[in-house]
């Protein structure tokens, strides 16, 4: 499949959120990426259910919700109610990952699992056929605008081999420090979905930036 682009709403202008949502709607972006942070699992707090519900009222594309929170199981049904289409939890936050993945699917959402930069992809070997998406953090989670961690390429390659050998249909999503300088190599290495926050919303022409990320010459 051709790769997908998912602008991260965390980097949008919150004073003009509807404007930025409409921009993404009208752009060549495929998904909205929404980071939920609790100030416990990561050292930052973002937004919760009311803001996601407000985004859903205007968004016309897939809602890709990334939970950077402890005990995500408590809120799975709630995120479905406010509009999540894809729900991603962290391997590091789940005591019973298989149960969590199944609970997400039972609510009718695609199930994703995210790995922090220090977590090896090998931990997913026993569950890779059950997940729809693997999100590799290419920065330490919690804040936007960080520098891309180069070891991510090695992890993408390892994960791509695991997916292909297992017969899994999971897609690989990359989140953190994605720009026009590394996007092409990320896709060439095996990534399917690029999350871009600051690079899109802080650019002079976000719509054009999205278009350029979508039409890489790999």
Query: What residues are annotated to the active site?
Result: 35, 175
With vertex at residue 19, the alpha carbon angle to CA 172 and CA 8, rounded to the nearest 5 degrees, is 20
Residue the block writes with tokens 């996007």: 183
Sign of CA dihedral 152, 156, 162, 168: positive
Q: Which residue, 62, 134, 69, is CA-closest to 101?
A: 134
Q: What are phi and psi of 73, to 5 degrees?
A: -55, -30
Residue the block writes with tokens 């919690």: 142
Between CA 210 and CA 27 the distance in angstroms is 7
First-to-final CA distance of the chain:
13
Query: SS3 for 101?
Result: helix
Residue the block writes with tokens 């259910």: 49
Between CA 210 and CA 203 the distance in angstroms is 10
Q: Which residue, 2, 11, 3, 4, is CA-closest to 143?
A: 11
By the 8 A CB rule, do 128 and 105 touch?
no
């Amino acid at each position: 499949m051709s790769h997908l682009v998912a602008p991260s709403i965390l980097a949008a202008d919150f004073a003009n959120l509807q404007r930025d949502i409409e921009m993404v709607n009208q752009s060549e972006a495929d998904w909205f990426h929404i980071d939920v942070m609790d100030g416990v699992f990561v050292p930052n707090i973002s937004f919760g259910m009311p803001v996601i519900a407000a985004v859903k009222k205007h968004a016309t594309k897939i809602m890709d919700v990334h939970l950077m929170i402890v005990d995500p199981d408590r809120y799975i049904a709630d995120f479905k109610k406010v509009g999540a289409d894809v729900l991603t939890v962290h391997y590091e936050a789940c005591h019973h990952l298989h149960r969590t993945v199944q609970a997400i699917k039972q609510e009718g959402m695609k199930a994703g699992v995210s790995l922090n930069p220090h977590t090896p992809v090998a931990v997913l070997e026993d569950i890779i056929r059950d997940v729809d998406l693997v999100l590799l953090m290419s920065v330490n989670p919690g804040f936007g605008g960080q520098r891309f961690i180069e070891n991510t390429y090695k992890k993408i390659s390892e994960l791509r081999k695991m997916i292909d050998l297992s017969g899994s249909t999971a897609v690989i999503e990359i989140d953190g420090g994605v720009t026009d300088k590394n996007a092409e190599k990320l896709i060439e290495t095996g990534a399917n979905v690029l999350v871009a926050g600051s690079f899109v919303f802080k650019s002079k022409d976000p719509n054009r930036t999205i278009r350029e990320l979508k039409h890489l010459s790999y």
